[in-house]
Amino acid sequence: MGKYSALVAGFAGLGLLAGAAIADTVDVGAIEKVQRTVYGEPPQGGQTVKRQGDGVVFQEALETVDNSAAVIRFIDDSTLSVGARSKVLIDAFVFDPEKAEGNALIRISIGTLRFVTGGMPKGKTTIKTPTATLVLRGTDVTVHVHPDGTTDATVNEGIVDAHNDVTNNETSLTEGQGGTFANGGNSDFSGSNPSAGPGGSGDPSDPPEHRRSGNPAPTGGDSHNNSSGGSSGY
């Protein structure tokens, strides 16, 4: 069984675990930092403004607007930093600290995120974009999704196994490497560590402001109806 086939099989089991946890609406993390306006929408509720200290639950959709950002710390001590004008779904997050077992699935439909793995076993955290499935193996990775779904991924530490969901091409990225996953296939670029925050500090707890060199960070007013993401769901 290949890496991608094993991943699909794993998602089937993950769905069963996640379903039970969703019913209990158990917090799987909390908002650690907020910059300007960040919205959250749990599976059984309407969209609300998220504030520092607020919990994050299974299948909660998070959305940032212009010049806004957030940092979420999960129950396994991993961190998800979400940059401006981004849409992210915490599709699943199951972790048993006693056995150090679990699975996590994060979906990003547009925008920028940085994920630093915690106690979750290697290979059990996955980031899904419109064009790619990224499996993290003890990893610090920055991911940017363009409006057309094209995905840029830069590995700051660790290994990412990447599958292009359009062309079925597979590749592995290691520390310092970057890759683009698009409708036409994969391409590599040199992975100069992208700025992880407004100050460019590289601190994993800082919200990412952008991705790879040559793509300017988004600017503009604080409008919920942002132009790059639209108002559609995940």
Helix (H, G, I), strand (E, B) or coil at 37: coil
- Domains of the chain listed by start with CATH number: 3-190 (2.60.120.1440)
Sequential DSSP letters for 177-224: EEEEEETTEEEEEE------STT----TTSPP---STTSPPP-----S
Residue 8: pLDDT over 70: no
> If you average pLDDT over residues 8-20, what whole number do you get?
42
Sequential DSSP letters for 154-186: EEEEEEEEEEETTT--EEEEETTEEEEEETTEE
Which pLDDT score, from 0 to 100, does residue 44 have?
Answer: 87
pTM of the model: 0.77
Helix (H, G, I), strand (E, B) or coil at 227: coil
Which pLDDT score, from 0 to 100, does residue 203 have?
Answer: 53
Residue 63: pLDDT over 60: yes
> If you average pLDDT over residues 27-40, what whole number do you get?
96
Sequential DSSP letters for 103-160: EEEEEEEEEEEEEE--SSPTT-EEEE-SSEEEEEEEEEEEEEE-TTS-EEEEEEEEEE
pLDDT band at 23 (very low <50, low <70, confident <90, very high): very low
Which pLDDT score, from 0 to 100, does residue 191 have?
Answer: 53
pLDDT band at 208 (very low <50, low <70, confident <90, very high): low
Which pLDDT score, from 0 to 100, does residue 15 have?
Answer: 44
Helix (H, G, I), strand (E, B) or coil at 229: coil
> If you average pLDDT over residues 82-87, what whole number do you get?
96
Which pLDDT score, from 0 to 100, does residue 26 have?
Answer: 84
> If you average pLDDT over residues 46-74, what whole number do you get?
96
> If you average pLDDT over residues 39-51, what whole number do you get?
95
Burial of 172 (0-12, 13-18, 19+ CB in 10 A): middle
In the chain, the percentage of residues whose pLDDT exceeds 70 is: 70
pLDDT: is 126 or 23 the higher one? 126
Which pLDDT score, from 0 to 100, does residue 189 have?
Answer: 80
Residue 82, both tokens: 């979400």
Average of per-residue pLDDT values in the chain: 80
Which pLDDT score, from 0 to 100, does residue 89 have?
Answer: 98
Which pLDDT score, from 0 to 100, does residue 188 have?
Answer: 87
Residue range 153-197, pLDDT digits in tens? 999 999 999 999 999 999 999 999 999 999 999 898 865 544 333
